[in-house]
Structure 1
């Protein structure tokens, strides 16, 4: 089955997570959902079936507070169910991401990251417009990256697709719970007894504008993240935020779609070298690559038999 670029991101939202933290024990603030992981997707209902999407990225890590290197891999399984509800198509997503973080002079640490599960619907509104809404979250993982938290997630996406142009906007709202491993958190400092900082609630915004040229697609992307409440306000740096822009290209091989994009922060607030206010700000540069593969679709119904007289 050929998967049209109209459906490329219809429901293959990379659900992976990224803690912007160090493995020395002190987590910085930042979104659990990796900023920028969902650019390049549209939000029209996906044809019934099973799909696989994998988004990998590599760059420096603005949240570590140092000149860190960070690799992220986000494999996703998507089930576009046979069911509709309230005019929308029901879909579900599951992911088990992994990350590898390195600090100068301290080596690397890698780990399986917080698994994610979301369920929701996508609506085709007509005239090129689609909208989707998914709820769920990330499960805690007690690993070297200090992300033993439950995190609620809601994701609202809007797409306009017409005449080869696709414009998308996607908002993620996350509510992060306390660490399951460490029950006490100092209400003044925001740190627990292990020096781990409670992660903030956050809002991410991912934006995409692309144009298809036959099998090729080219466009621009942008994404931002903002700490909105919780322990982020107790950091010396205050609540953190950033916004990045970049370019995207893609190619439709038929059933397999390949995308890549390169991004660079243009705004950075609260991300400083060493986590020290007044030090040089950290601007993240990141290269991304994504592959999308349909695994199974139901066979097309047989053509009706026309009687001849």
Structure 2
């Protein structure tokens, strides 16, 4: 795989915002890592040594707030593909500080029964990940990252640590790239937060982001899909929100990208095709539609070694 195609597949945008437990009235669950953020990325493919910038922006109606709401999430990432290897794998590391903007009209119910309009923006939990990627040949690769999110005392009540493990698989050949990125997150107890919530206010979760993409010249077209599962209950929201139930969803959509050389621009649009326990105040099931824009650029790569010149 050449450098341009590896840059296209760089899988380093890692953070999101879906657990808005401070303002959701119908349910209080969701992954701290945004489902779908890694769709179409070849996380398992080792990158050339260097520094990379990846920015992923998403906008759409927001299933986590469950009623007439929208969210804009921006995730800037700085990634370092190191010169080192361990046990045959290439070592990488990255960090990000994402942000989220929420606009919810009558987010949980009419004003007469406690609803209202909510507009907010906040920095999201910063994160750091370190991992390895292995190239097994014949187009197959695998990787795993370990790290997590730090607490942030924001309006979203996310003042807790979240531990992450991120296994990934990829295959490429004949212009095709097939990718599967997973995230298992273990959340800690809320340390107070804006609303003085204590206990486990956000669930453990499992996300899976998938992609099947064909590259022809500088264009890449394909399909993506992603899902999320609440894999553990929470403690504090049960007395606060007796209707809380474990949530899950799956979405699919179309993907397109263009390689400009110094940077690659990717976009995709997704729609939930399965939604479980994402409901509004009236019990109506909520399906999210989201537009995604991603920019990938190499900031620095070491110069190639000087050619050897024989002297006689």
The alpha-carbon distance between structure 1 residues 92 and 294, as it changes in their structure 2 partners (threshold 3 A), is: same
Structure-1 residue corresponding to 2:271: 264
Contact 1:161–1:167 (CA<8 Å) still a contact in 2? yes
Structure-1 residue corresponding to 2:287: 283
Give the Cα separation in 2 of the matches to 1:203 and 1:194.
24
Structure-2 residue corresponding to 1:120: 131
Structure-2 residue corresponding to 1:52: 53
Give the Cα separation in 2 of the matches to 1:69 and 1:301.
50
SS in 2 for 1:5: helix
1:15 aligns to 2:25 (yes or no): no
Contact 1:247–1:261 (CA<8 Å) still a contact in 2? yes
The aligned runs of 1:10-159 (5 Å cut-off) are 10=10, 12-21=11-20, 24=23, 28-42=28-42, 43-104=44-105, 106-159=117-170
Contact 2:93–2:129 (CA<8 Å) still a contact in 1? yes
Structure-2 residue corresponding to 1:170: 181
The alpha-carbon distance between structure 1 residues 61 and 22, as it changes in their structure 2 partners (threshold 3 A), is: farther
Q: When the two structures are aligned, how many residues end up with a matched partner? A: 294
Compute the displacement of 1:255 (Å).
1.6
Give the Cα separation in 1 of the matches to 2:206 and 2:187.
11
Contact 1:16–1:34 (CA<8 Å) still a contact in 2? yes
Give the Cα separation in 2 of the matches to 1:228 and 1:249.
32
Give the Cα separation in 1 of the matches to 2:197 and 2:93.
36
Compute the displacement of 1:69 (Å).
0.7
Structure-2 residue corresponding to 1:212: 215
Question: Which deviates further from its counterpart, 67-76 or 98-107?
Answer: 98-107
The aligned runs of 1:237-252 (5 Å cut-off) are 237-252=244-259
Give the Cα separation in 2 of the matches to 1:54 and 1:15.
10
Cα offsets for 1:22-61 (capped at 9, x unmatched): 6537671010000000012112101000000000010011
Contact 1:15–1:117 (CA<8 Å) still a contact in 2? no
The alpha-carbon distance between structure 1 residues 160 and 23, as it changes in their structure 2 partners (threshold 3 A), is: same
Compute the displacement of 1:231 (Å).
1.1
Give the Cα separation in 1 of the matches to 2:275 and 2:94.
31
The alpha-carbon distance between structure 1 residues 206 and 175, as it changes in their structure 2 partners (threshold 3 A), is: same
Structure-2 residue corresponding to 1:223: 226
Contact 1:23–1:109 (CA<8 Å) still a contact in 2? no
Give the Cα separation in 1 of the matches to 2:213 and 2:150.
33
**Runs of 4+, deviation exceeding 4 Å:** 192-197, 232-235
1:292 aligns to 2:296 (yes or no): yes
Compute the displacement of 1:20 (Å).
3.1
1:236 aligns to 2:229 (yes or no): no
Structure-2 residue corresponding to 1:187: none
TM-score (norm 1): 0.90
Compute the displacement of 1:221 (Å).
0.2
Compute the displacement of 1:21 (Å).
1.8
Give the Cα separation in 2 of the matches to 1:197 and 1:152.
14
